[in-house]
């Protein structure tokens, strides 16, 4: 009897302990939710501090907590370019803000168009007679491009600058797959459609090299022009023509070399930099840390300066990332999700539609769902414009064809009008391991495609015919949209990628301009006067849950990353290789349907480290979700 009483007491104690634990967790979660939303009350007189810890993107992606936990590291921080530009422009006009500080120590970059837009916003701050201060550890192309728009550029004594220029290399697996006995069965249309080359070659083809040379040459010229215009004293040639001589002339001191080339103005620690900013921004009375200056962080500033909502609404739908089937996104262009967002606004009182595209393309059928939904909006007799950001190529151009007018930037990458499909088979691998296939066929297509015994000529002809037909539909869409002869579209198509300047010359783009220009054009066509309109973004609500997840997962290890010097930055390229290999293999094994995808287009989001292939990650995520219910 005494034993039973002791067991009962133990069970009660465990119950009480668990109740207390869950009660504490509940209140901790409640506190986190209540504090997740930044408060405008945190805005103070002084500098606007932009700690850009991550990448600038067109649309922030959703954080999956299970995937974040499995990855073993915090997701890369993301900054919505429209929100960031609006925040900087608001700082230029607000008397509470007397300067802007760019902390670029953990900045990972952004697309060319986004960097130009942020740079122009910083120029507006300087035009308002407010200084812009930039501080970095290891400046690279993207961070230098932003820093060039600052009044003063500082670098850590153990840091420096390294200009690499546009371009780079990618991996080719042709010989490896041959040795493994895996055959990549490729079906494509387009001389320049290079997306399948990594699976069938060991090097870049001459047409792909010709296209990439022209494309990256143009992007490099645009980068130099922007930096030289913003920072005339920067000697880019000194740092790029003979970079080893340039560094050795400063005794191997990267910081001194950067200053000698005019890439930075001053060398000093973060505390010394803060003392300089304090002369303008004022002292932070609540922080006695050396170099602390009065400032407002980005999050409360954004909360205090929401996007405008006055006037007539012009809908903006964002197509960012790879175009895929389903409800994926934001940050990935799920065809069903975007189409549903467009259809949900069919009964809304909107004056027009702007389609903001920042995508290298993807699955044709998903892109067609989006295009059809745009046409349903257009059938309401409202003006429709496309605003191209960094990339609007292949499937990204497919969804742009309904537009009445297409806006792009000189740095925009577009075109890539071509289609491909790739399906692996394993006949040599199976043969090497003593596996064969046999059976009875009633038609030439029975058992086809046969992944063990190889594809029959009949199925190969059918698949190629299907891809050729899709390419013909692509050409017809572009020809009708751009009022060009199909033969001309085929000539400038063939999977070739174009920079925005050339695309305008050949008729794929109407005029240069950003999202604001596209909105203004739609407003004018809709008869709206005196700028009495605002942008209403469709299907882009993130919610407090995502805000909480970002607070929990992103940025907690920022201080550990700040110490990265140029060696660490260089090593990051090697660390990204496993993720690239995983993505390439997923591209071979996991693609479904015909693809309108641009491989030549630069990646929009840097990798945060090694990731499992999508199918494995999705499976593990589903298991964890099931266990958590």
Contact 342, 380 (CB under 8 A): no
d(CA 383, CA 526): 7
User: 235, 168, 179: which is closest to 202 by C-alpha?
Assistant: 179
Length of the chain: 629
**Segment (H or E) for 183:** strand 183-189
d(CA 395, CA 359): 8
Helices 2-36 and 543-553: crossing angle in degrees, nearest 10, is: 100
For 602-615, b/e burial (b = at least 16 CB within 10 A) is bebbebbeebbbee
Tally Cβ neighbours within 10 Å of residue 473. 13
d(CA 15, CA 543): 35
d(CA 533, CA 520): 9
Burial class for 402, CB neighbours closer than 10 Å (0-12, 13-18, 19+) = buried
Contact 489, 478 (CB under 8 A): yes
Q: In what order do the strands lie in the sheet with 55-57?
A: 78-80, 55-57, 109-110
d(CA 410, CA 388): 10
The question of whether 193 is a catalytic residue gets the answer yes
d(CA 572, CA 130): 35
130, 188, 193, 278: which one is catalytic? 193
SS (H, E, C) 205-259: CHHHHHHHHHHHHHHHHHHHHHHHHHCCCCCHHHHHCCHHHHHHCCCCCHHHHHH
Tally Cβ neighbours within 10 Å of residue 452. 14
Backbone angles phi, psi at 162, to 5 degrees: -140, 110
User: 24, 33, 109, 76: which is closest to 546 by C-alpha?
Assistant: 33
**In 483-597, alpha helices (H):** 486-492, 500-505, 515-525, 543-553, 558-562, 566-575, 577-590
394, 416, 600, 607: which one is catalytic? 394
d(CA 369, CA 334): 10
d(CA 95, CA 128): 10
The question of whether 436 is a catalytic residue gets the answer no
Beta bridge partner(s), residue 498: 414
Known catalytic residues are 193, 394
């Amino acid at each position: 009897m005494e034993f039973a009483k002791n067991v009962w007491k133990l069970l009660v104690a465990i119950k009480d302990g668990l109740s207390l634990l869950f009660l504490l967790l509940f209140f901790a979660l409640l506190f986190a939710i209540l504090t997740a939303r930044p408060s405008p009350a945190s805005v103070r007189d002084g500098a606007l501090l932009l700690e850009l810890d991550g990448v600038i993107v067109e649309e922030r992606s959703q954080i999956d907590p299970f995937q974040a936990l499995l990855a073993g590291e915090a997701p890369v921080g993301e900054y919505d370019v429209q929100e960031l530009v609006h925040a900087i422009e608001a700082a230029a006009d607000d008397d509470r803000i007397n300067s802007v500080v760019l902390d670029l120590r953990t900045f990972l970059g952004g697309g060319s168009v986004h960097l130009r837009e942020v740079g122009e916003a910083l120029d507006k701050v300087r035009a308002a007679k407010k200084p812009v201060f930039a501080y970095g550890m290891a400046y690279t192309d993207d961070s230098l491009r932003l820093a060039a728009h600052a009044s003063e550029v500082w670098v850590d004594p153990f840091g420096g600058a390294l200009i690499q220029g546009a371009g780079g290399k990618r991996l080719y697996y042709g010989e490896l797959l041959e040795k493994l006995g895996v055959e990549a069965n490729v079906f494509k249309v387009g001389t320049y459609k290079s997306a399948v080359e990594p699976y069938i070659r060991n090097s870049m083809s001459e047409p792909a090299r010709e296209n990439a040379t022209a494309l990256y040459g143009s992007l490099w010229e645009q980068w130099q022009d922007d930096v030289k215009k913003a920072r005339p004293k920067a000697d880019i040639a000194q740092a790029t023509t003979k970079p080893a001589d340039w560094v050795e002339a400063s005794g191997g001191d990267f910081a001194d070399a950067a200053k000698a080339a005019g890439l930075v103005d001053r060398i000093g620690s973060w505390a010394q930099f803060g003392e300089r900013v304090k002369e303008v921004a004022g002292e932070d009375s609540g922080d006695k840390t050396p170099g602390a200056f009065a400032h407002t962080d980005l999050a409360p500033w954004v909360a205090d300066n929401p996007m405008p909502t006055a006037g007539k609404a012009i809908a903006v739908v964002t197509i960012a990332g790879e175009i895929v089937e389903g409800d994926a996104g934001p940050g990935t262009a799920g065809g069903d999700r975007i189409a549903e967002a467009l259809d949900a606004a069919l009964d809304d009182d909107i004056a027009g539609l702007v389609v903001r595209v920042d995508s290298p393309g993807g699955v044709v059928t998903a892109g067609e769902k989006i295009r059809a939904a745009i046409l349903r909006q257009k059938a309401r007799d409202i003006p429709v414009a496309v605003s191209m950001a960094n990339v609007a190529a292949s499937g990204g151009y497919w969804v742009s064809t309904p537009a009445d007018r297409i806006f792009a930037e000189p740095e925009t990458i577009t075109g890539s009008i071509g289609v491909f499909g790739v399906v692996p088979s394993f006949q040599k691998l199976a043969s090497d391991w003593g596996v064969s296939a046999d059976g009875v066929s009633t038609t030439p297509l029975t058992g086809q495609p046969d992944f063990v015994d190889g594809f029959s000529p009949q199925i190969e002809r059918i698949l190629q015919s299907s891809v050729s037909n899709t390419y013909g539909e692509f050409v017809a869409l572009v020809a009708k949209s751009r009022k060009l002869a199909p033969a001309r579209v085929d000539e400038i198509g063939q999977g070739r990628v174009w920079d925005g300047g050339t695309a305008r010359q050949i008729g794929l783009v109407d005029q240069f301009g950003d999202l604001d220009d596209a909105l203004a054009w739609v407003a004018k066509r809709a008869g709206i006067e005196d700028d009495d309109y605002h942008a209403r973004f469709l299907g882009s609500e993130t919610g407090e849950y995502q805000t909480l997840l970002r607070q929990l997962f992103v940025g907690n290890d920022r201080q550990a990353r700040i110490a990265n010097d140029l060696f660490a930055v260089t090593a990051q390229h090697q660390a990204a290789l496993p993720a690239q290999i995983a993505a390439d293999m997923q591209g071979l094994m996991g693609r479904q349907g015909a693809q309108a995808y641009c491989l030549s287009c630069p990646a929009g989001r840097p990798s945060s480290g090694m990731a499992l292939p999508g199918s494995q990650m999705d499976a593990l995520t589903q298991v964890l979700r099931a266990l958590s219910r």
